[in-house]
Amino acid sequence: MKSSIKISALALAFAAFTFGAKAQTTTPTTTSTTASGIRYSIGVDAGLPTGKISDSYNWNLGGSLQVDIPVANKLFVTVNAGYDNIFGKKNIDGSGVDVPNIELLPVKAGLKYFVVSNFYVQGEAGAAFVLDKTKIDANNSAAFIYAPQIGYQFKLGGKNYIDAGVRYEASTKLNSDVDDSKVNFVGLRVAYGF
């Protein structure tokens, strides 16, 4: 059951990515913006924990809103806010113990640079606010996060596009006394941009 949920989520993300690629009818450019030059996107975020956290957590799912503000040719300042739920394992190691989910509210800002055509590199940093500290035994209300990402924007028509990016996201400790309380994952964001 747990594996089928992971596979389903990744398959859905891949299907959205593929659909975006097939929907491309013209050569996309990086100039698809609003009249003010600002781009907006709303997306689904999914990922797989890495490092020590993967011993207790299966995967994560969430959503995010992002604004891309042009500052130079091919260069945008990004502001991103969202929600992440990292799903804890059930009956861990046959002990009958269920690991509680980690619920975070990440807020990040950074830069997005289009290397060629619609292929970009992006780097963001910010804070992940812990929504229920007592449930996961965290003594910090927030943790520093950083997220390097690569991605591609598939033009849909007009000023609309699909933005698909793969990132690595990492945090500082949620509990200052526990070295293994960092949240690290490899994630996929598939977003509708306008």
| Domains defined along the chain, listed by start | 2-193 (2.40.160.20)
Nearby residues of 181 by Cβ (< 8 Å), 6 or more positions away? 138, 173, 174, 175
Which among 105, 64, 51, 60 is positioned nearest to 86, based on CA atoms? 60
pLDDT at 145 over 90: yes
Mean pLDDT calculated for residue range 122-141: 96
pLDDT at 64: 98
User: Who has greater pLDDT, 190 or 9?
Assistant: 190
The pLDDT-based confidence of 34 (bands split at 50, 70, 90) is low
pLDDT at 94: 83
Written as one letter, the residue type at 46 is A
pLDDT at 169: 98
pLDDT at 16 over 80: no
Distance CA 23, CA 135 (A): 43
pLDDT, tens digit (0-9, with 9 covering 90-100), for 88-113: 999 888 888 899 999 999 999 999 99
The answer to whether 67 and 42 have CB atoms below 8 angstroms apart is no
Which range is least confidently modeled, 7-11, 67-71, 96-100, 147-151?
7-11
pLDDT at 6: 42
The pLDDT-based confidence of 35 (bands split at 50, 70, 90) is low
Mean pLDDT calculated for residue range 6-25: 40
